[in-house]
Amino acid sequence: MIEALSPVIDAVFPPRCPLCGDAIASQQGLCGDCFAEIEVPGEPCCALCQWPFEIEQAEGSLCGVCLQSLPRHDGIAAATLYGEGSRKLILALKHGGRIALAPMMARMIARQAAVVDAGWLVVPVPLHRWRIWRRGYNQAALLARAVAEVSDAELCVDALVRRKATPMLGGLGRAARRRALSGAIEVSPQRRAGLKGRNLLLVDDVLTSGATSEACVSALKRAGAARVMVGCFARVVDRA
């Protein structure tokens, strides 16, 4: 239905790049110059966490962090590496109210998480209710809904709940992040039974230190999830 109406929609609302405003071919996309600002993860990278390697490695190689301590998640699927272009899109979605960007961003996540299909369950990283009240929506839930649609997967938007408000984690050390998140994220009692034995894709907008996703994955695994991958739009990589 939407495809049939596309010519009418384009005539009334000419497609524009959401970043710079230049004319583009379709409603869902970026212009060539803005797309060039987006860095998509590729090989070589860690087989488990997708951390980029500077030099070629044997297939299936793990980075030093994963070798030292295997993460609880079962892989990371990041649509982009965090940079100027991805930052603009995230800020527009998260703080600018540009919720129409979610389907485009979700399709980019789904391409990296190609293993996800109708047998999977898609779960967003939760926001505390006070933050939802201020913002009006959970950007991770918008992305998760769109990822589920494009992947033909099942969506469980309330599988996780954030029981307490947490401070901004930027600038905090690893131990401080863990203390801030201790007891903050739990599985909803009403959804616990439906998670047992399932393959899950945990969706968020940005993966920075991994502390929040780690808390979510731990809660989901304790509830009996068989496999939990992390899907995000942007992955922060400290190239130093």
Give CA–CA dist 201/204, Å, rounded. Answer: 10
Does residue 28 sit in the same domain as residue 104?
Answer: no
Residue-level pLDDT at 6 = 47
Q: Could you give the number of structural domains in the chain?
A: 2
Does residue 162 sit in the same domain as residue 126?
Answer: yes
Does residue 29 sit in the same domain as residue 48?
Answer: no
Does residue 17 sit in the same domain as residue 77?
Answer: no
- Asked whether 75 and 213 are in contact (CB, 8 A), the reply is no
Residue-level pLDDT at 174 = 64
Residue 14 lies in a domain: yes
Does residue 88 sit in the same domain as residue 26?
Answer: no
CATH of the domain at 117: 3.40.50.2020
Distance of CA 160 to the CA centre of its chain: 15
pTM for the model stands at 0.87
What range defines the domain where residue 199 resides? 43-235
Residue 168 lies in a domain: yes
Residue-level pLDDT at 207 = 92
> Mean pLDDT for each 10-residue chunk of the chain (240 residues)?
44 68 70 85 84 80 85 93 92 90 94 94 93 90 97 96 71 63 85 96 92 92 96 82
Does residue 146 sit in the same domain as residue 86?
Answer: yes
Does residue 11 sit in the same domain as residue 83?
Answer: no
Q: Is the alpha carbon torsion for 193, 194, 198, 202 positive or negative? A: negative
Sheet architecture: strand order including 76-81: 76-81, 227-235, 199-207, 120-124, 154-155
Residue 240 lies in a domain: no
In the block, tokens 């998509």 appear at 40
Does residue 21 sit in the same domain as residue 53?
Answer: no
* Closest among 26, 29, 19, 38 to 233, alpha carbons compared: 38
Residue 134 lies in a domain: yes
Residue-level pLDDT at 183 = 72
Does residue 158 sit in the same domain as residue 48?
Answer: yes
Peptide bond into 44 cis (omega under 30): yes
Residue-level pLDDT at 30 = 80
* Closest among 218, 148, 153, 154 to 185, alpha carbons compared: 218
DSSP-derived secondary structure for 132-146: HHHHSS-HHHHHHHH
Does residue 8 sit in the same domain as residue 81?
Answer: no
CA distance to 40, 98, 134, 188, 235, per residue, from 95 (Å): 23, 8, 10, 27, 18
* Closest among 178, 123, 170, 129 to 145, alpha carbons compared: 123
Does residue 12 sit in the same domain as residue 127?
Answer: no
Does residue 54 sit in the same domain as residue 141?
Answer: yes
